[in-house]
Amino acid sequence: MARGRPSGPTRSARAPHAAPEAELGAFLRSRRERLAPADVGLPETPGRRTPGLRRTEVADLAGISTSWYTWLEQGRVRTSEQVLRAVATALRLDPAERAHVLSFVAEPPAAAPTWVSRNLHSLVRAMTPHPAVVLDPHWDLLAWNDAYAALLTDPARLRPGERNLLWLVFHWPGARTRLADWEREARALLGQFRARAARSPRDPRFAELIGTLLADPDAACWYRRRETAEFQPAVRHFRHPTAGDLRLRYVKLAAVDEPGHHFLTYLPDDAATEDALRTLSAPPGGRPEEGREAPGAAPPALMQQEWAHGNRRTSQRLSLPGEAVGPTPPHTARGYR
């Protein structure tokens, strides 16, 4: 089991979003422009030049003044949950879009801890042969087991900034063939990411990831549409080059004692997948003996060495065979408790 913290932001991606008020206003405008009068029970009128509904029509439907709604779209005012609920209803937002709009008046999320607990590490390892991983709020991969590395690719062999679920889905070469329904999965994940990133416009890691994602034409196209999504439990279909077709139920749990961290695991949805998972992470020549690590594997507790320098902490993960791993910069180190 390994973990790594991505590096800092690139020069090309400093501001992922405008201020929250401006981001909310742009989102509301995009949803207003996609509606036709008939969608909300209004008659069509000749000579309409405004795409979608007029601002005054949305304001009337929401029961607020046109001036206030105009200022809301322009990002000039902050408003209440009651007003946003009325606007969401007027714009016929779906549940994910409604949740996204209401998130702008919710308390900002607490900063995620800079460590992964021993208990969570133990849980990830104990899930074998089921793939399991711990993610932070940026979808960075913090800890994973051998089964997860075998399902996709071993994050330990990626650069620190690439150890991220979004990066894997959009930039890892095998993703589009490994995920049977890649487009649906990618769009849903990007929608979840966009909703969270919009609330943290000054977060340098979000800025870095957005800059990386927008280099992909598909991600750039969907991101411009301001698509949002919520996590939905579902069955994912993988086409694995050695294990064959895998049908896995995607389970996501919040770590209550580590706010911002999420534990994700994949459970078999049928007997064939259950059998395949037993061999997916087994080393060549069969599974290791009980109580022993597979040949060449470093024990999880030894995958990272740490030492303190005053109030700063640096870390170095023990390298895998044939892999040179340098010290993680102090500002990217992750603790272990």
* CA–CA dist 58, 35 (Å, integer): 10
Q: What is the pLDDT of residues 250-272, one digit of tens each?
A: 999 998 888 889 999 999 999 99
Question: What pLDDT does residue 76 have?
Answer: 85
Question: What pLDDT does residue 137 have?
Answer: 92
- List strands edge to edge, sheet with 132-135: 141-144, 132-135, 262-268, 244-254, 234-240
Q: How confident is the model at residue 122 (pLDDT cuts 50, 70, 90)?
A: very high
* Strand 262-268 to 132-135 pairing: antiparallel
- pLDDT over 60 at 12, yes or no: no
- pLDDT over 90 at 303, yes or no: no
* CA–CA dist 253, 202 (Å, integer): 27
- pLDDT over 90 at 190, yes or no: yes
Question: What pLDDT does residue 232 have?
Answer: 82
Residue (of 213, 211, 160) closest to 187 by Cα position = 213
Residue 141: how many CA atoms within 13 Å on its side-chain side? 31
Average pLDDT over residues 230-235: 85
Q: How confident is the model at residue 220 (pLDDT cuts 50, 70, 90)?
A: very high
With tokens 């607020």, the residue in question is 64
Residue type, 178: R
Residue type, 56: T
- pLDDT over 50 at 335, yes or no: no
- pLDDT over 90 at 323, yes or no: no
- pLDDT over 60 at 82, yes or no: yes
- pLDDT over 80 at 146, yes or no: yes
Look at 40 and 49; give whichever has higher pLDDT.
Answer: 40
Question: What pLDDT does residue 113 have?
Answer: 75
- pLDDT over 60 at 295, yes or no: no
- pLDDT over 70 at 102, yes or no: yes
Task: Give the chain's length.
Answer: 337
- pLDDT over 60 at 330, yes or no: no
Question: What pLDDT does residue 17 have?
Answer: 56
Share of residues in the chain with pLDDT > 70 (%)? 77
Look at 13 and 123; give whichever has higher pLDDT.
Answer: 123
Question: What pLDDT does residue 98 have?
Answer: 86
Question: What pLDDT does residue 152 have?
Answer: 93
- Range with the poorest average pLDDT among 1-5, 105-109, 242-246: 1-5
Look at 141 and 201; give whichever has higher pLDDT.
Answer: 141
Cα angle for residues 104, 109, 113 (degrees, 5° grid) = 160
- pLDDT over 70 at 297, yes or no: no
